[in-house]
């Protein structure tokens, strides 16, 4: 495996692969790799002649400076994992290499799909994601690009970006990978204290119960129940040291338009619930499918 940190060297490697008519799979990451990322790399490995994994903490998608400063950076370990998982190139550029002319001025707009959930709470986030993803697309010219479904809204944004820029890239959404106790894997999990990590699986457990409830309760009641259950968990369980869940949002939405639904039959394609919860100073997100119900 090659570790490449300049765009010139990456372009040279891609040009060579293109000349040999190789298919290219791109797995964009911000590093701090875990099993979730590795599942994307494995899938890309199966489906492409060449696999590029980018490792770049993209400053322009952080609307919170502290979150950017605290974002885990483990690039040496990441490169080792990328190699063990069978990728051909780990692309590890600096900020200057990615944005040689300084912070890009371009902004992207996505209409209603960015006006819900993460969009209003993280102004500029999705435009920042789109800028870096487009840059990675330009540099790697992938046949396929792999994204995890934990960032459910991000996938809809990238799909929309591909429609806007008309690149013939196949977007491959990949299922969430969970720890044995159900917690969705995330690079941010490593910032949880042992006490917080021990209760974090409550998020997924609550979402699973919500799916059961959806068989006999309406959308609004399920929504309120999830927020109340997590929001009062510290009281019911007498947690120490001010430890508590603080739900930022839980929205039950159409899985294509991402607009909130008010009825379980409201969507022709499917319905998911998306949540963001603060725990121990860490913002965790998760997604659960309500409809169609798994067989």
Q: Which residues bind ligand PAF (CB under 6 A)?
A: 28-30, 58, 61, 129, 132-133, 151, 154
Least Å distance between CB 171 and ligand PAF?
Answer: 12
Q: Which residues of 146-180 are buried (b: 16+ CB within 10 A; e: fewer)?
A: bbbbbbbbbbbbbebbbeeeeeebeebbbebbbbe
Least Å distance between CB 110 and ligand PAF?
Answer: 14
CA distance 19 to 273: 44
Closer Cβ to ligand PAF, 150 or 244, answer by number: 150
Closer Cβ to ligand PAF, 39 or 58, answer by number: 58
Residue 130 · residue 157 · CB < 8 Å: yes
89-91 and 144-148: which strand pairing?
unpaired
Q: Tell me if the bond preceding 292 is cis, omega within 30° of 0.
A: yes
Closer Cβ to ligand PAF, 61 or 140, answer by number: 61
Least Å distance between CB 107 and ligand PAF?
Answer: 16
Least Å distance between CB 41 and ligand PAF?
Answer: 13
Which DSSP state fits 85?
Answer: T
Measuring CA to CA, which residue among 79, 65, 80, 32 is closest to residue 191? 32
**Radius of gyration of the chain, Cα coordinates, nearest whole angstrom:** 20
Closer Cβ to ligand PAF, 62 or 233, answer by number: 62
Question: Is 37 an annotated catalytic residue?
Answer: yes
Catalytic residue among 37, 109, 125, 234: 37
Residue 278 · residue 248 · CB < 8 Å: yes
Measuring CA to CA, which residue among 139, 133, 110 is closest to residue 259? 110
Question: Which positions are catalytic?
Answer: 37
């Amino acid at each position: 495996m090659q570790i490449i940190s300049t765009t010139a060297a990456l372009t040279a490697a891609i040009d060579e692969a293109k000349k040999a008519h190789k298919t290219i799979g791109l797995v964009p990451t911000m590093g701090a790799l875990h099993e979730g990322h590795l599942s994307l790399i494995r899938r890309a490995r199966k489906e492409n002649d060449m696999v590029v994994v980018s490792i770049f903490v993209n400053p322009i998608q952080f609307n919170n400076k502290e979150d950017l400063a605290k974002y885990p950076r483990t690039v040496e370990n990441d490169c080792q994992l990328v190699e063990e998982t069978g990728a051909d190139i780990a692309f590890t550029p600096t900020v200057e290499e990615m944005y040689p002319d300084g912070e890009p001025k371009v902004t992207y707009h996505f209409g209603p799909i960015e006006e819900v959930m993460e969009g209003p709470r993280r102004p500029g986030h999705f435009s920042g994601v789109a800028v870096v993803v487009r840059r990675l697309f330009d540099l790697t010219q992938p046949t396929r690009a792999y994204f995890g479904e934990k960032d459910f809204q991000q996938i809809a944004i990238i799909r929309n970006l591909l429609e806007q820029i008309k690149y013939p890239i196949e977007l491959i959404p990949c299922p969430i990978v969970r720890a044995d106790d159900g917690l969705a894997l995330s690079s941010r999990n490593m910032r949880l204290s042992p006490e917080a990590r021990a209760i974090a699986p409550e998020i997924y457990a609550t979402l699973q119960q919500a799916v059961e409830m959806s068989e006999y309760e309406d959308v609004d009641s399920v929504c309120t129940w999830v927020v109340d259950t997590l929001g009062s968990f510290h009281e019911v369980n007498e947690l120490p040291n001010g430890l508590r869940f603080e739900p930022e949002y839980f929205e039950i939405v159409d899985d294509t338009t991402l607009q909130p639904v008010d009825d379980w039959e409201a969507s022709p394609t499917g319905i998911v619930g998306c949540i963001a919860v603060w725990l121990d100073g860490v913002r965790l997100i998760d997604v659960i499918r309500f409809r169609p119900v798994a067989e």
